[in-house]
Amino acid sequence: MNWSDMKFFDNGDALTEARGFFCSGVHCDVKGKRDGKLDLGIIYSKKPCSVAGVFTTNDVRAAPVRYCEALIKDEKFACHAIIANSGNANACTGRQGELDTKKMASEVARHFNIHSKEVLVCSTGRIGEPLPMSRITAGIRDAADDIIKEYDGAAAFQEAILTSDTCTKSCSVRIKASSGEITIGGVVKGAGMIEPNMATMLSFLTTDISASNHELQSILAIAVNQSFNRITIDGDMSTNDSVLMMANGNSGIELKNESKKFQDAFAHGVETICAALAKKCVSDGEKVTKFIKLKVDGAETEEGAQKVARCIANSLLVKTSWYGSDPNWGRIIDAAGYAKVGMDFAKVDLNYNEVPALKKGEPIVGNKSRWKEIVSGKNFTITLNLNQGKGTGEIWTNDLSEEYVNFNKSE
């Protein structure tokens, strides 16, 4: 399908590109370091928003995740604001963590004269420590004041949600409709503890289209599965991962009243945003130097293809060989084998970019110098064809350096 009616914009304010949304980001010293880092932000819409959300599949889910999940289960749920803090995950904090989550929502609601159940809450950071609620409360006051004064706080919000990230990550799309134009904006944070099935990652999307919770949820779930669930940095899955999407209808355009072509374009727009943000997460992974697209074709099932791709992408031996620019296909095959999908090595083809490394299990040794050149680059694709069926899978991942170990040996 031709997506000529859609324009993509990399970086920028993103969340406030969609009409009717306001953002802020402030320093409230969540970690008590007095370093001036922005660490609390709010997204706000005067009009109530329909909402969709996808959350971590970790059995241990943080208090804010459980709080948001409970609210979003109601298909009639409407939201005015999202409050997010970095520096403290409010995870594994027991009953107090639940009370603190509700307190954050009620404080935001008080400043905007809305109901506390119209506020979603997200946290990211260190696990197992209580929130410093006196400082959080003061930060909410300051962040709300900035929005009430209509300060341009989109960039500040992006900074406020970062943890080990080295940069902010955002993008937006605009799509022409029969009677105007709609915008979708998105931001993400996350550079570690990221593995398929939602990992420590927070992503927020805003749009000025009018759509039901059910419509948004269906579209977002597919988009997340095709993007955020295809990335892995270090194989760890967080307690706090959340992707939230708000739609306030400020464009005056209703999704259900538009053509099938436009509805498909809107879904594609959400997928485009999620895919771009997911790739930004991998590229900004903790102390990574390379971005790798890993494709598995010819599996008996799609589930099998994804399993093989994940085993390869999460192999420490594979990832360290990429860091060393070593085209070690043996490690790739070993990792694919322990996926236990019935792989027959005598049927396997393997390419670095378009250059064959294996053909029906036989090394193409004449290409060895070209493999090395490819793996020495910052971006490359590895394609493994099992030649056993029609199942395909794809993962976006990175290398693993000694700097990663040094960075994560203490917090």
- Judge contact between 72 and 56, C-beta under 8 A: no
Is the domain of 275 the same as that of 309? Answer: no
Is the domain of 250 the same as that of 298? Answer: no
Decide if 90 is inside a domain.
yes
At which of 259, 283, 307 does a domain end?
283
The residue segments making up the domain with residue 306 are: 291-408
DSSP secondary structure letter of residue 166: S
> Whole-angstrom Cα distance, residue 243 to residue 281?
13
Predicted local distance difference test score (pLDDT) of residue 232? 74
H or E segment and range at residue 71:
helix 63-72
Q: Quote the longest CA-to-CA distance of the chain.
A: 70
Predicted local distance difference test score (pLDDT) of residue 197? 43
Is the domain of 210 the same as that of 340? Answer: no
> Whole-angstrom Cα distance, residue 275 to residue 389?
26
Q: Which residue has the higher pLDDT, 164 or 260?
A: 260
Is the domain of 300 the same as that of 384? Answer: yes
Tokens of 147: 């929005």
Predicted local distance difference test score (pLDDT) of residue 192? 53
The tokens 């598995």 sit on which residue?
296
Task: Provide the 3-class DSSP secondary structure of residue 306.
Answer: helix
Report the DSSP pairing between strands 242-247 and 202-207.
parallel
Report the DSSP pairing between strands 291-299 and 40-55.
unpaired
Domain containing 269 — which CATH number?
3.60.70.12
Encode pLDDT of 58-102 as tens digits.
888 999 999 999 999 998 999 999 999 999 999 999 999 999 999
Domain containing 376 — which CATH number?
3.10.20.340
Decide if 311 is inside a domain.
yes
Phi, psi of 150 (to 5 degrees): 60, 40
Residue 220: pLDDT band with limits 50, 70, 90: very high
Catalytic residues: 200
The runs of H, that is alpha helices, within 324-401 are: 329-337, 368-375
Is the domain of 338 the same as that of 399? Answer: yes
Predicted local distance difference test score (pLDDT) of residue 195? 47
Task: Provide the 3-class DSSP secondary structure of residue 180.
Answer: strand
Is the domain of 251 the same as that of 327? Answer: no
Is the domain of 298 the same as that of 268? Answer: no
At which of 258, 283, 308 does a domain end?
283
Predicted local distance difference test score (pLDDT) of residue 410? 54
Which whole number is the average pLDDT over 125-151? 96
Phi, psi of 18 (to 5 degrees): -70, 130
Decide if 1 is inside a domain.
no
How big is the chain, counted in residues?
A: 411
Q: Domains in the chain: how many in total?
A: 2
Report pTM: 0.87
Is the domain of 82 the same as that of 186? Answer: yes
